Amino acid sequence: MAQQPAIPQTPHVTQPTPAASETREKQESYFAPIGGSATKKNTASSFAEDRARARSRSPKSIVITAGQPPPVPKKPPSTTSSPPNGVPNGHLSPSSAASTASSYWRNISRSPSPLGLIPIHRSFRNFVHRHEIPRKALHLSIGFVTLSLYSRGISQHSIHPWLLGALVPIASVDYLRHTFPTFNRFYIRVLGALMRESEVDGYNGVIWYLLGAWTVLRFFPKDVGVMSVLLLSWCDTAASTVGRLYGRYTPRIRKGKSLAGSAAAMGVGILTAGMFWGWAVPRFGHDDGFMFTGHLTLPEVVKEAVGWNSSEGVLGGWTALSIVSLWSGFVASASEVVDIFGWDDNVIIPVLSGIGLWGFFKVFAP
């Protein structure tokens, strides 16, 4: 029987004694072996944590190693830009005043309107802001003040100096608020309810209103000047109100002007002219400088062309008043629609209305 080879013995290797620092590091970094039950427990807890995080959509906690600075989250690039002048920017809107991100404008403006001070009136305050109730109330009141001054027999030559005297300081104050931001914030806090959003960074509409009223009362006869101010006060308000409510249902004439608003301006202009020349003038009297005294006549050139004498082709009474009222409504509607170099309606409407009425009476009521 063959003899099997002997198996050599395993050599005995003697390890060097570790240093004290190496022993301490091994002890500090030593972890007990993880068994099967511990592995299942860690897996279950990790799965439960992931499910809870998915429901709450909260970010995972970041482990910060000692000696390393905490990570700084990157901010997305800003894509917002300030709107140009004349475009609504939301500075005076109720939603902007109520937003936590707009504490700046909430601090400088109590509310878009005086009624917005009560939080429970939030929905009504939105209606007041959307339809510019305080501004339109002021706009309408100017017409009643003008009619009241006319009923007292006050001449327009004693009024337009006061308008010019108010125009200069108001324009100066508006220049100062655009020069000093602190003063602009105080100005908006006090008069923000009467301003439009575009006037926060633009010029106040009161300046153009005073300029238009001063122009027609200074350079036109009394009845034409008073009628121009009435058309500005009432026709412009009617066009804005009806246009905001029903303009989307009618064709658009140009940007910001609809057929509904123009029709409202014409209707109110017809009623205003009929009321002024048909009721106010006969009741309170008229001056010698009035252009319309209740009669209309064809030009002499037309009479000669058709073979009429000077006494023919003359209209009076309700017929003449109806023609003048229709023309006044048309002039008010046309001046509200037209755009001249982007000027404000508060100066375009009275000036163009005055020119239209003056030219009409020059031809048909000489």
**Token pair 């499910």 is at which residue?**
51
Which is more confident, 162 or 104?
162
Q: Which of 68-77, 260-269, 292-301 has the lowest mean pLDDT?
A: 68-77
Residue 82 falls in which region: left (phi positive, over 0), alpha (psi -120 to 50) or beta = beta
What pLDDT is stored for residue 273 in this prediction? 96
The tokens for 172 are 């100066």
Distance CA 174, CA 188 (A): 11
Which is more confident, 256 or 117?
256
Distance CA 317, CA 295 (A): 7
pLDDT band at 100 (very low <50, low <70, confident <90, very high): very low
Q: What is the mean pLDDT of residues 12-19?
A: 57
- Of 323, 283, 252, which is closest to residue 153 (Cα–Cα)? 283
Is the pLDDT at 251 greater than 80? The verdict is yes
Query: Nearest-5° angle of CA 111, CA 105, CA 179?
Result: 110
Q: What is the mean pLDDT of residues 94-99?
A: 46
Q: What is the mean pLDDT of residues 109-113?
A: 40
Q: Which of 57-71, 91-105, 159-173, 216-230 has the lowest mean pLDDT?
A: 91-105
What pLDDT is stored for residue 7 in this prediction? 64
Is the pLDDT at 334 greater than 90? The verdict is yes
Is the pLDDT at 36 greater than 60? The verdict is no
Total residue count of the chain as it appears in this document: 366
DSSP 237-279: HHHHHHHHHHGGGS-EEETTEEHHHHHHHHHHHHHHHHHIIII
For residue 314, give the 3-state DSSP assignment.
strand
Is the pLDDT at 113 greater than 60? The verdict is no
Query: Nearest-5° angle of CA 327, CA 330, CA 333?
Result: 150
Q: What is the mean pLDDT of the chain?
A: 75
Segment of 14-18, 51-55, 175-179 carrying the highest mean pLDDT: 175-179
What pLDDT is stored for residue 117 in this prediction? 39
pLDDT band at 290 (very low <50, low <70, confident <90, very high): confident
Q: What pTM did the predictor assign?
A: 0.63
pLDDT band at 120 (very low <50, low <70, confident <90, very high): very low
Report whether 201 contacts 85 (CB < 8 A): yes
